[in-house]
Structure 1
Amino acid sequence: MADAAPPVPARPASTVLLLRDGAAGRLEVFMVVRHREIEFAGGALVFPGGRVEEADGALAGDDPLGAFRIAGIRETFEECGVLLARPRGEAGMVRAERLLAVADRHHGALLRNERSLPEVLAAEGLEPASDALAHWAHWVTPASRSKRFDTHFFLAAAPPDQLAVHDGLESVDSIWIEPAQAVAEADAGKRRLVFATRKNLEKLARHATVADAMAAARSATVVRVQPEMVRAGEGWRLRIPPEADYGGDLFETLDAPAI
């Protein structure tokens, strides 16, 4: 019997959970609906994110997750127009009026891979706000999948005067939504979630405000999660490490396949 083929390498990727306190005073997260023709998670409600590019490492510094943070900043700008960056030497995020000019000059070239985020920031006198991203989770696609990602999740408070919108290319819709509401709408058949998105929404729903969620993320230890399909009783379940703090270790997979 021939040996099984080795698993496909998991591509480094980054995802940002952009947060705000909504009109009702409760935490909301920005999510986009993937274009149905996208190979991975087509039609699903997801957080903005994508693969880590080689150029992202140029601003990584000594942080072992630096390239992932820069990739998250770049993907958030590309996918929803929010730029987590500061004018050089200043404490506050870039203001909306300046951001519009930056986007007008660079957004298209960034999407076409004609310009890197380090080049954009250098040209505009900006610095990435890497410290504004709190490490939240680390998920790796199961070894059995033909397309795999090694994804780090980050929380970030949305700059209050920047407008988050979907790009109309990879994403066809967007919404600010309370985490528990997103899960409830998926349960009712109104939304499609991949397993990792569902579990991170459930975990995020434990927190009432942005400040609560950010504080929890900065004080927690992130545990690597690579779901594994295992037999449980007469059926199958997805198993993840209980110490990852998702409320257990065996789960039904009612949604799209894990991450």
Structure 2
Amino acid sequence: MSTEPAAARPASTILLLRDAAAAAEIEVFMMVRNRQIEFASGALVFPGGSVDADDRAIIERPELYRETPGDDPETLSFRIAAIRETFEESGILLARPRGADALISAERAGEIEASHRAALCAGEASFAEIVAGHDLVLALDQLVPYARWVTPVPLPKRFDTWFFLAEAPPEQLGCHDGHESTDSIWLSPREALVGADDGRFKLPFPTTRNLVRLGQQPSVAAALEEARQRPVVTVMPELTKQPNGKVQLRIPAAAGYDGELFEVTSPV
């Protein structure tokens, strides 16, 4: 029997942000994962998923994206996957008409979503061809690296996940797909954390920590600026089982979260 740890699958997620209308706080788009899905079933999460071969293939077509200085192929694949997965899971599309500085309008994004989202989710359409067919450029430059979490080694299903921040395109409200996710909501980090405390929401550990950190910022602009200034420190929690049946997780202080030691019922 092999003792090698399971490989961590590359994955990406986006924290889509907007300023709350009635308070000096941020709202973030989140979804409830289908309870029939094996990983994080029933959890309230940000849109995202695994990097796939089609994401890597788009790297060979630089006319389809606007990158940021210093991006390498690995970084590009995470950014592309983040935008594709967000479109699949929420219908929100971070892209520009070719030659334009502004993101596509909500009306046009809605038309593309209605025409292609279901086929893309079913594996019957190529994201590259959708983008090319509508003469779009993926707005990779809108994504600000925020965090990188790797599932602890002892666990059988592992991910190496980049978290990005992005300001939500104006008037693109987003909606769950009804398959991988069964509900969706815009809410503040404070509301999500209160909901987890009173049992309304189930939050994975990395999601909780990122919501706590995000909730310290009063606006989207402040959150984006803080993320640009802080280097990303990769977090792979060290896991220790406790006599009470719970799990103790240790994360690096340099990652900028609200502590180093946490006791949880589940490490993911």
TM-score by length of 2: 0.90
Question: What are the superposed Cα offsets for residues 216-249 of structure 1, whole Å, 9 maximum, x if unpaired?
Answer: 1111100010111136898751011111111221
**Equivalent-residue separation in structure 1 for 2:247 and 2:106 (angstroms):** 49
Match of 2:4 in 1: 6
Q: 1:59·1:66 contact (CA, 8 Å) conserved in 2?
A: no
For 1:32-111, list aligned pairs within 5 A: 32-60=31-59, 63-64=71-72, 65-111=75-121
Q: Using a 3 Å threshold, how does the CA distance of structure 1 residues 220 and 170 change in structure 2: closer, same or farther? A: same
Q: Which consecutive residues of structure 2, in runs of 5 or more, have no partner in the other structure?
A: 63-69
**Equivalent-residue separation in structure 1 for 2:243 and 2:261 (angstroms):** 12
**Equivalent-residue separation in structure 2 for 1:112 and 1:239 (angstroms):** 38
Q: Is 1:132 equivalent to 2:142 in the alignment?
A: yes
For 1:213-252, list aligned pairs within 5 A: 213-230=223-240, 236-252=247-263
Q: Is 1:147 equivalent to 2:157 in the alignment?
A: yes
| Correspondence for 1:169 among 163, 169, 179 | 179
**Equivalent-residue separation in structure 2 for 1:213 and 1:236 (angstroms):** 31
Question: What are the superposed Cα offsets for residues 168-222 of structure 1, whole Å, 9 maximum, x if unpaired?
Answer: 1111111111102211111111111110110010010110110010111111100
* SS across alignment from 1:252: strand
| Percent identity (aligned) | 51
User: Which moves more between the two structures, 175-184 or 223-232?
Assistant: 223-232
**Equivalent-residue separation in structure 1 for 2:247 and 2:96 (angstroms):** 48
Q: Which consecutive residues of structure 1, in runs of 5 or more, have no partner in the other structure?
A: none
AA in 2 matched with 1:196: P
AA in 1 matched with 2:267: A
Q: 2:247·2:267 contact (CA, 8 Å) conserved in 1?
A: no
Shift of 1:104: 2.7
Shift of 1:114: 2.1
Match of 2:218 in 1: 208
Question: What are the superposed Cα offsets for residues 99-120 of structure 1, whole Å, 9 maximum, x if unpaired?
Answer: 1221233212211112222111
Match of 1:113 in 2: 123
Number of paired residues?
255
Off by >4 Å, runs of 4+ in structure 1: 231-236
Q: 1:27·1:210 contact (CA, 8 Å) conserved in 2?
A: yes
**Equivalent-residue separation in structure 2 for 1:240 and 1:224 (angstroms):** 9
**Equivalent-residue separation in structure 2 for 1:88 and 1:183 (angstroms):** 40
TM-score by length of 1: 0.93
* SS across alignment from 2:101: coil
* SS across alignment from 1:135: strand
User: Which moves more between the two structures, 144-153 or 91-100?
Assistant: 91-100
Q: Using a 3 Å threshold, how does the CA distance of structure 1 residues 42 and 232 change in structure 2: closer, same or farther? A: closer
- Root-mean-square deviation over aligned CA pairs: 1.8
